[in-house]
């Protein structure tokens, strides 16, 4: 799986869990002498949480997490892709909402030997016009 230029790996910057929450609320409309009717108002959010544990001293990976945090601080939306080397699944563009770190088992120099992290993402809802707008710079190279 990759998030923008940051690839999750088996050793180093790996993950051990991914959860997803899609919200599609329905508005209730009061109707006399019967159950309230419902009207679908459309999707409001698509959220993904990636959890993992780094062992920076033994296996590395902290620089990738720090780079991802830098992208989040810069407000850069990132493409989320999963799959294998034969077939990938593009999940769309997401914004990093938060990154939580739990650093522990510090060595004598104060460097953490274990860093459990959680990355919260939210789907970047720019619509189909936004997708076309992203392709304009690329297409201009050919025209």
Three-point CA angle 121, 130, 3, nearest 5°: 30
Spell out the domain ranges in the chain: 2-28+37-139
pLDDT tens per residue across span 65-82: 999 999 999 999 999 998
Q: Round to whole Å and give the CA distance between 77 and 88.
A: 19
* Residue-wise pLDDT tens digits, 18-77: 999 999 999 999 999 999 999 998 888 899 999 999 988 788 888 899 999 999 999 999
Residue with tokens 């929450």: 21
- How far apart CA 126 and CA 77 sit, in angstroms, is 11
Read off the pTM: 0.75
**Pairwise CA distance, residues 127 & 125, whole Å:** 6
Q: Cα separation of 142 and 80, whole Å?
A: 26
């Amino acid at each position: 799986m990759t998030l923008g230029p940051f690839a999750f790996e088996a050793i180093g910057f790996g993950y051990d869990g991914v959860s997803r929450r899609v919200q599609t609320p329905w508005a209730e409309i009061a109707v006399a002498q019967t159950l309230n009717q419902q009207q679908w108002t459309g999707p409001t959010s698509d959220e993904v949480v990636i959890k993992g544990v780094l062992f920076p001293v033994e296996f590395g990976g902290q620089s990738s997490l720090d780079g991802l945090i830098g992208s989040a601080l810069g407000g850069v939306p990132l493409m989320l892709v999963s799959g294998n080397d034969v077939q990938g699944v593009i999940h769309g563009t997401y914004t990093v909402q938060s990154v939580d770190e739990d650093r522990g088992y510090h060595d004598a120099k104060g460097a953490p030997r274990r860093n459990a992290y959680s990355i919260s993402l939210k789907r970047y809802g720019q619509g189909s016009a936004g997708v076309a707008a992203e392709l304009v710079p690329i297409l201009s190279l050919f025209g």
